Structure 1
Amino acid sequence: MTGSILSAFNIIVGICTFIFPVRALDNGLALTPTMGWLHWERFMCNTDCDADPHNCISEKLYMEMADAMVKDGWKDAGYEYVCIDDCWPSRDRDSEGRLQADPKRFPGGIKKLADYMHSKGLKLGIYADVGTMTCAGYPGSLGHYDTDAQTFAEWGVDLLKFDGCNMPNWTLLAGGYINMSVALNKTGRSILYSCEWPLYEWQFHQPNYTAIRQTCNHWRNSADVFDSWSSVTGIVDWTADHQDLIVPVAGPGGWNDPDMLVIGNFGLSRDQQETQMALWAIMAAPLLMSNDLRAIDPQSQRLLQNRHIIAISQDPLGKQGTRKAKVNGFEVWQRPLSTGGLALAVTNRQEIGGPRHFPLTLATVLVWRSCYHQCNVTQILPQYRELGVQNLFSKLQLSVNPTGTTLLLLSPVPAMSCTRLQAKKWLRYLSKDRAQRTAL
């Protein structure tokens, strides 16, 4: 490139940067993964309040969930958002072009609901769509981004879940999501922005995760979660298969969202519920429950409120964990923590037989950087147990139920001088190639 052409090129780039600046989302929110409750998987689009007043999408439902969150320890455990999903609005905008809540099901309007949440020390989330209509056919935000953002801010909304249905052309998705992000920030109110941008682009091309990270506080990548083991494992597998792409962009302020926790519903066994909870914590996923907090069983409540798992989820380092190994029907997942240690999950993916033993040697799961020379090992799931200080070559026999997970916390022990024998053993281990180490 000649000097004159290069100068012209730099001028054009400078002009384009001035016109189209890249501004990272900087709303100070979601510095750790979002925690709360979201209605969709459990209550879906049930709008028949005459036939089913206890479970229909109405202000009564959200107020009762808020009451339960305060009364039953959810708020104290860290769950703070009560989120409305699709099917809340009237079928038509008002005379000024503003969204309005269905007057029969939300007689006090959304502002009343937001005020109620705030009086409980909670926050309110709401749902809208980037396209012409929501997925259930209610008014979308296309052409109304500024108006809708200002409306949500005036109502006192704290989170927006922005879906991606009914966009006339998929190439408009990115612009729509960016425009709503700008509109939310212009309101001056702190509104957490939950996007479904990549979910709707994957069918056409690989999404631009740098732009998504600069726009959203978290983003959905894969299909809606159902109350089934196959749905949970499908999401887990998708995440693992794409981890090299999606993990590097996650961190404080922006997270990959594998969708809702369905713990406490009908489709998952006890072991499968523990697996979802453990892996969502390892994956630094938002913990948005979709269940009935008014009637949840005590075991599910204890699991969802487990302070040790929540501490892993909310670790301030903000590093998303990854799948490190697949062997003999087991999967090993790891997440680095701010303590210098690791959260380690061993999942038994077999769906037949009984408990199987997984021989865990710390050296073989690549934790030596954190545990040189020793680690204190604590089992979090399936029950809490202190396993004591282990060195790199100690062998732990983990018993893992079919579809279950053993979740461990590995905390480094301050280095001590090692014996000559330990040093020789360590050097022999490092001299082996990776295949030999795995076979140890």
Structure 2
Amino acid sequence: MHLLSFGLLLALYMLSTALDNGLVKTPPMGWMTWERYRCNIDCKNDPDNCISENLIKAMADKMANGGWRELGYVYLSIDDCWAKKQRDSNGKLEPDPDRFPSGIKALADYVHSRGLKLGIYSDMGNYTCGGYPGTTLDTIKIDADTFASWEVDMLKFDGCYSNDTEKAIGYPKMSSALNATGRPILYSCSWPAYEGGLPPKVNYTLLGSICNMWRNYDDIQDSWASVVKIIQWFAANQDALQPVAGPGHWNDPDMLITGDYGLSYEQSKAQLAIWAIMAAPLIMSNDLRTISEEAKDLLQNRLLIYINQDSLGIQGRQVMKVGCLSVWKRQLVNDQYAVAVLNTGDDGLPRPFSTSLGLLNITEYSAGYKLYDVFNTEYVGLFKPISPINLKINPSGVVMLFIQPATVAPHRSYFGFL
């Protein structure tokens, strides 16, 4: 009787807190301030790179005019350090008046006029990670209502300066509060990252019912070592993580750092490939005003985006590992697949790798499959299940293949080169 009552209460609780905004049936794409700009508030000495409405407007212009918006990069999100150090006399959060003189509502209007969506940041705790006013349990409703009144489209809800009990109450409560505003607001939860990212401490069934996406692990840093650390953690824990992702609720390995300082060209391809295989949000944090054409081409690769945005929403998995080489595979619509072979070695010599569709368990079509190299944007050939596939993977690099049944017509209007 007690078990039945507990089960019923849990079901009712999850029903009452379920996020019902219909958003992000495919992984969200966009741009965020944190990795590239951190908590830079020095607008006097660094006006072009401080957290301000001028920075957000500049990025909005680039996203609208640089081909980003049309490819799906539509969320433009302010991370920490946007607020005043105190709430107003009514207990509401306010933007810093020197850096956001027009206010967040006016900034949202500007972003919306560019065909984009504005995201904002808050923290389930006494303070944000940067030391600004946090959202406590008794201010959740007022903050949700404030964000909705500003016509914000996304909330990243961090977890500094709170305890486990407050998070367990606060994250579902914010979900309900956002729902109650009537405005569809993408809800990005950092909760799992503060709880070790894994069951049983993290209840992914509950998370999937209250959040659109969630950070599982540590913050990404601008380095290859950080990217590899994240990839390896997701691979080691994929049995717990892979099944919980899907349309409307995604694992988030953190921001894309392509176009910043820490990754080589090969390493940038590697991060993008594995993020696409993992059905991860593609949220950039870089300077779109100065990004190189090389980095821009990678981030705007149409076939990579097609793979990431696949409507099945199945997160891919690491299916093989031999030394520094690992093979990742994702099932896509229409019996299509994406495969990435990652080389985490750095000894200066490309590694040979041989496999076949049969070894990859891609054997449904006896007529064979057409293979395309995603980053070289070229047709590789028609392969039967037993045909050898011989690759060379550059140090700290990747080869990514799009695999399509021979009988399926290519989507020429989207892929371009197919």
Both structures adopt the same fold (TM-score exceeding 0.5): yes
Determine if contact 1:25/1:215 at 8 Å carries over to the other structure: yes
Distance 2:125 2:4 in 1: 36
The Cα of 1:360 is off from its aligned counterpart by 2.2
Distance 1:172 1:244 in 2: 28
Is 2:30 aligned against 1:36? yes
Paired residue type of 1:124: L
Is 2:262 aligned against 1:267? yes
The Cα of 1:272 is off from its aligned counterpart by 0.1
1:374-405 Cα offsets, whole Å, 9 max, x none, are: 11111112x12212210011112111100111
Is 2:360 aligned against 1:365? yes
Determine if contact 1:358/1:397 at 8 Å carries over to the other structure: yes
Could you tell me which runs of 5 or more consecutive residues in structure 2 were left unpaired when the two chains were aligned: 409-418
Say what the alpha-carbon RMSD is for the aligned residues: 1.7
1:67-124 Cα offsets, whole Å, 9 max, x none, are: 0111111111210011000000000000000000000000001001000001111010
Determine if contact 2:14/2:206 at 8 Å carries over to the other structure: no
Q: What residue is the counterpart of 1:229 in the other structure? A: 224
Instruction: From the superposition, tell whether residues 17 and 344 of structure 1 become closer, same or farther in structure 2 (CA, over 3 Å).
Output: closer
Distance 2:51 2:231 in 1: 29
Structure-to-structure mapping, 1:120-135, within 5 angstroms:
120-135=114-129
Structure 2 counterpart of 1:403, from 366, 390, 396: 396
Is 2:99 aligned against 1:117? no
Structure-to-structure mapping, 1:323-342, within 5 angstroms:
323-342=318-337
Larger Cα-atom Rg: 1
Q: What residue is the counterpart of 2:166 in the other structure? A: 172
Q: What residue is the counterpart of 1:437 in the other structure? A: none
Determine if contact 1:372/1:412 at 8 Å carries over to the other structure: no
Structure-to-structure mapping, 1:338-417, within 5 angstroms:
338-369=333-364, 371-381=365-375, 383-414=376-407
Instruction: From the superposition, tell whether residues 319 and 151 of structure 1 become closer, same or farther in structure 2 (CA, over 3 Å).
Output: same
Instruction: From the superposition, tell whether residues 190 and 364 of structure 1 become closer, same or farther in structure 2 (CA, over 3 Å).
Output: same
1:406-436 Cα offsets, whole Å, 9 max, x none, are: 0001112349xxxxxxxxxxxxxxxxxxxxx
Instruction: From the superposition, tell whether residues 293 and 342 of structure 1 become closer, same or farther in structure 2 (CA, over 3 Å).
Output: same
Instruction: From the superposition, tell whether residues 306 and 150 of structure 1 become closer, same or farther in structure 2 (CA, over 3 Å).
Output: same
Distance 2:4 2:204 in 1: 26
- Would you say how many aligned residue pairs link Structure 1 and Structure 2? 406
More divergent stretch after superposition (115-124 vs 23-32): 23-32
SS of alignment partner, residue 193 of structure 2: helix
Distance 2:168 2:140 in 1: 13
Instruction: From the superposition, tell whether residues 14 and 261 of structure 1 become closer, same or farther in structure 2 (CA, over 3 Å).
Output: closer
Instruction: From the superposition, tell whether residues 110 and 170 of structure 1 become closer, same or farther in structure 2 (CA, over 3 Å).
Output: same
Distance 2:224 2:377 in 1: 24
Determine if contact 2:76/2:119 at 8 Å carries over to the other structure: yes
Q: What residue is the counterpart of 1:422 in the other structure? A: none
Q: What residue is the counterpart of 2:250 in the other structure? A: 255
Paired residue type of 1:236: I
Is 2:62 aligned against 1:63? no
Q: What residue is the counterpart of 1:144 in the other structure? A: 139
Determine if contact 2:60/2:111 at 8 Å carries over to the other structure: yes
Structure-to-structure mapping, 1:314-325, within 5 angstroms:
314-325=309-320
Determine if contact 2:17/2:176 at 8 Å carries over to the other structure: no
Distance 1:19 1:346 in 2: 43
Q: What residue is the counterpart of 1:431 in the other structure? A: none
Paired residue type of 1:206: K
Q: What residue is the counterpart of 1:290 in the other structure? A: 285
1:174-232 Cα offsets, whole Å, 9 max, x none, are: 21100000000000000000010100111896311111111100000110001100000
Is 2:169 aligned against 1:182? no
Structure-to-structure mapping, 1:86-105, within 5 angstroms:
86-105=80-99
Distance 1:372 1:198 in 2: 43
**TM-score, scaled to structure 1:** 0.89
SS of alignment partner, residue 359 of structure 2: helix
Q: What residue is the counterpart of 1:210 in the other structure? A: 205
The Cα of 1:9 is off from its aligned counterpart by 6.2
Distance 1:319 1:11 in 2: 34
Instruction: From the superposition, tell whether residues 134 and 408 of structure 1 become closer, same or farther in structure 2 (CA, over 3 Å).
Output: same
Paired residue type of 1:408: L
Paired residue type of 2:383: Q
Instruction: From the superposition, tell whether residues 372 and 139 of structure 1 become closer, same or farther in structure 2 (CA, over 3 Å).
Output: farther
The Cα of 1:12 is off from its aligned counterpart by 6.9
Distance 2:197 2:390 in 1: 43
Paired residue type of 1:155: W
Q: What residue is the counterpart of 2:412 in the other structure? A: none
Determine if contact 2:18/2:176 at 8 Å carries over to the other structure: no
Distance 2:6 2:305 in 1: 49
Distance 1:295 1:74 in 2: 14
Determine if contact 2:369/2:404 at 8 Å carries over to the other structure: yes
Determine if contact 1:240/1:322 at 8 Å carries over to the other structure: yes
